[in-house]
Amino acid sequence: MDLDFAAVRAFVTITEERTFSEAAARLGISQQAISKRIAKLESDLGVRLFFRTRSGAELTEDGRTFLHHARSLVGIADQALALLRGRRRSLRIDVLDTRVVATELVRAFHDGAEDVDIEITTSNGLRSARGALARGSIDAAFARVMGTLDEELRHLPAYLEPIYVLVDRSHPLARLREVPMSRLAASTIWMPGNVAGSEWEEFYRLLGVEFDLEIDTSGPDFGWEHYVEQVSSRRRISLVGDGTRLPAHPRTVQVPIVRPTPVYPCSLLYHRQNYHPALTQLIDHVTRTFRPFDPSHQWLPEPDLLAYT
């Protein structure tokens, strides 16, 4: 049997106010409602807790026995509520990497929000965000959604990031102001960070199928500095989001892709039972700043079209 906590609180309040009517007024409910709560509590416990007198409600012997424990239950609950309500906890937001555009979006939100503390965490994208959101270890995450999510998770479009070509300055593509997608056909695109099974690996695989690109995921992947240096020293072609803050390198350039421009889709994910007060503000910010997909000059994989159009 589980005790009805509202009934236990009603019981303690009656002992303090001495009458059902005064206790009901203090709790902000009707006298009929408080009577029903006590009747249910007595039924659950299998004892009578009060008897009526001219001066009000008096405790039975069983009622006096239960009172000490009931006060303890209410006291512990009130302490727990006070602790949580009084605690100022940061809004915990997960991004794939601090160099990606999601971090800039969070920074813009923080600059425009009043009295909101933010804690940024990094992980491996959607794969870890699912569990972290369910456990409550993070409040929100930015990731490309693929597959079926748990029914408790919610997501909304956050941004569409144009993809650029990254090449050495001596590469023929570096002389162009824009790179038509047709110019990349049959090219080998080096993407050492495309982890098998990740949502970004799937995006670039679908991009390769659509436009006849060979996606080379061979590594090793030693981080951003090594990645940029390898693109330059080996005259490789790579792709990068235009909002990604790459380490400065004198010999690499980023050139926009056009006709069409592939855009990487990213969503804001959160748990529907997360009640952090700043989460609503973040959702509002993302909704206001999102720019919808433009099929006239942008490209998205088929699985993403429904969510972003």
Q: What is the mean pLDDT of residues 159-178?
A: 97
Write out pLDDT tens, residues 43-75: 999 999 999 887 788 999 999 999 999 999 998
Average pLDDT over residues 211-215: 98
Task: For domain 5-86, give its CATH number from 2.40.128.20, 3.40.710.10, 1.10.10.10, 3.40.50.970.
Answer: 1.10.10.10
pLDDT classification of 87: cutoffs 50, 70, 90: low
Whether the pLDDT of residue 122 is over 80: the answer is yes
Domains 5-86 and 89-309 share a fold: no
Say what the pTM is: 0.75
Indicate whether 1 pLDDT > 80.
no
Q: Is pLDDT at 146 greater than 80 in this prediction?
A: yes
> What HEC string does the chain produce?
CCCCHHHHHHHHHHHHHCCHHHHHHHHCCCHHHHHHHHHHHHHHHCCCCEEEECCEEEECHHHHHHHHHHHHHHHHHHHHHHHHHHCCCCEEEEECCCCCHHHHHHHHHHHHCCCCCEEEEECCCHHHHHHHHHHCCCCEEEECCCCCCCCCEEEEEEEEEEEEEEEECCCHHHHCCCEEHHHHCCCEEECCCCCCCCHHHHHHHHHHHHHCCEEECCCCCCCHHHHHHHHHHCCCEEEEECCCCCCCCCCEEEEEEECCEEEEEEEEEEECCCCCHHHHHHHHHHHHHCCCCCCCCEECCHHHHHHHC
Domain map (residue ranges) of the chain? 5-86, 89-309
- pLDDT for 85: 67
Of the candidate ranges 11-15, 26-30, 35-39, 84-88, the one whose mean pLDDT is the lowest: 84-88
Query: What CATH number has the domain spanning 89-309?
Result: 3.40.190.290
129-141, pLDDT tens digit by residue?
A: 999 999 999 999 9
